[in-house]
Every structure is written in C-alpha cells, then in structure tokens.
Amino acid sequence: MKRSWLVVSLVVIIGLLLVFGLAFSLSRWQRFGGSKVALITVEGVILDSKEIIEQLEKHRTNPTVKAIVLRINSPGGGVSPSQEIYEELIKTRQVNKKPVVASMGSLAASGGYYIASAADVIVANPGSITGSIGVLIQVPNISGLLQKIGVKSMVVKSGEHKDLASPTREMTEAERQILQRLLDDVHDQFIDVVSRTRKLDRKKVEALADGRIFSGREAQALGLVDQLGNLQDAVDRAASLAGIPGKPTVILERKRRFFLLDLLTRAVPFNIDLPVSPISTFSVDYLLR
C-alpha cells in the first residue's frame, strides 16, 4: 500500500513538472544560454509604435540579449509613432548600453529612415531605396463630386479653423499657411535628428531633405548610410559591436497577424492604400507605385 502511494505521488510530481515545463513560453527559455542578437522587423506603413516598443522593452530587460538589429522595410508613416520608436531606440543605446544596427530591406524611406537614424550603424543593400527626408500632408477635395451627385455638407463649428483640412470644400489660404507652418516645424525636427545622429553638417542635410530618394550606394556616399550589406552583415556587425565571439544566436519574433488577414494579403497581388489621417504624417505615399 505504501509503495502504491509512493508510485502515485511520483507520477503526479512528474506530471506536474511536465505541465510546468510546457507552460514556459519560448520567450522565457530565450533568457537562458549565451549572448544573443535580437532581430526586430518593421514592415509596412508605420501607423502604431506599440508592438515595436514592447519588443524593444522585452529585449532591453533580457540580460542574454547583447545587441539589437532593426530590419526596416517601410515607406514611412505617422510622425508620432516614428518618433516614439526613435526615442526607444536611443534609450536602448544610451541607457541600456546595447548597440543597435539598422538593416534596410527594399525600402527604408521617410519615417523608415527616421527610425534608422537612431541606430549606431546603418547597413543598406546597394539597391535599397532610402532618404525621402521630408513631410507630406495630402488633403483630398471631393466638393466637385458631392456637387454632381447633389450632396451638400453643412458644418457647425466653434472656431474659424475647427474644420481645417475638410475634404468637402476648397482650402483657404489661411488654412494652407497653418498646415505649411506645421509641416515646416516637423520637417525641421527631422533635419535636426538626421544632422545630430549622423554627425552631418545641418546645411548639408537641408540640401538633401527635399523629399528625394537615394539608392543605398548613393546614401552611403552622402553619409546617410554607414555600410553596404545584407541582413546577415547587419547581424555580424551588431555582434561585433556587442563583443560577441563567433556566430551569434539570433532571436527572431515574427509579427503577430490574424490568420484571415494573412491569407488575404498573400492572395491579393496589388497594394491597397489604407485611409490615413491627413494631419501629422510623414510621407506615406508608396514610392514605387
């Protein structure tokens, strides 16, 4: 009887150990082992910073992660999320003392270049498209269409400019000046960031910051990119900066996606322009469309 009780207890203990073992997520197991390089991907239009910031915070507090590679394939996006990601990357470098290397894919322009400029080193393919240092606001005007179909827009507002950038009427000169002042201020911030992080003369950056795009090779010649190479070169550079000997272990977190959305994006062979608020955006037009 006593032996049976011991056997049952042993089976229960082993079962509990197996359950607890399975309950550990992969992210927890990644805290064990040698030094690692974390790979974070930024893909598509930058409309939200939450997921990227969460990944950065996770890797900053993981003692086995010694460096971070930011893989960018983006035409740009919103001002605020781009600035938030930029600030978190700077914090990672300066507060947590973990080197950051930006790796440019096919496209890292506008807001994509903004966040890349926060890295210790920028690596680009010779044919990567980058630059587009500028700000854009697009305000559609559908007043003619509404008139044709007999629809009128009635607006009740508390202030003269409360319906600024309304698509149902022509923009006034005063409104145009307000938006231009906004753009000029954000553009000035962009130039300051590039000048400071890339250690370039501000006048030189101003001359380049007219919205034009560059190949990776052109960008390197201009001082906007440090090194030509692919993703593996960026990983190797990050490991070198962190003092990791040999071939580093890379932690890669795939972007969370809804299954149905994943099927749709794989099936539809053309780009879909999503509606974006016309206020406070870096250039969000698809550069190669």
> pLDDT by residue (tens digit) across 205-217?
999 999 999 999 9
What's the pLDDT band for 287 if we cut at 50, 70, 90? very low
What percent of the chain stands above pLDDT 90?
A: 56
Which listed residue (27, 106, 153, 162) is catalytic? 162
pLDDT given for residue 137 in this prediction: 82
- Rounded Cα gap, residues 270 and 197, in angstroms: 36
Q: Is the pLDDT of residue 243 over 90?
A: yes
Per the annotation, the verdict on 162 as an active-site residue is yes
141, amino acid identity = N
Q: Is the pLDDT of residue 74 over 90?
A: yes
Q: How many CB atoms lie within 10 A of CB 178?
A: 15
What's the pLDDT band for 278 if we cut at 50, 70, 90? very low
Residue 76 tokens read as 């740009």
Each residue's pLDDT tens digit, 125-140: 999 999 999 988 888 8
Dihedral pair phi/psi, residue 208, rounded to 5°:
-90, -15
Which domains can be identified in the chain, with CATH numbers? Answer: 31-136+201-267 (3.90.226.10)
Per the annotation, the verdict on 203 as an active-site residue is no
**Of 2-16, 136-150, 202-216, which gets the smallest average pLDDT?**
2-16
Q: Is the pLDDT of residue 5 over 80?
A: no
Q: Is the pLDDT of residue 6 over 90?
A: no
Each residue's pLDDT tens digit, 172-187: 899 889 988 988 999 9
For residues 79 and 47, the answer to whether their CB atoms sit within 8 Å is no
Which listed residue (49, 82, 103, 110) is catalytic? 110
What's the pLDDT band for 7 if we cut at 50, 70, 90? low
What's the pLDDT band for 263 if we cut at 50, 70, 90? very low
pLDDT given for residue 192 in this prediction: 96
| Residue-averaged pLDDT of the chain | 82
What's the pLDDT band for 276 if we cut at 50, 70, 90? very low
- Rounded Cα gap, residues 241 and 101, in angstroms: 9
What's the pLDDT band for 11 if we cut at 50, 70, 90? low
Q: Is the pLDDT of residue 255 over 90?
A: no
Contacting residues for 243 by C-beta, under 8 A, at least 6 apart: 66
Mean pLDDT of 105-112: 95
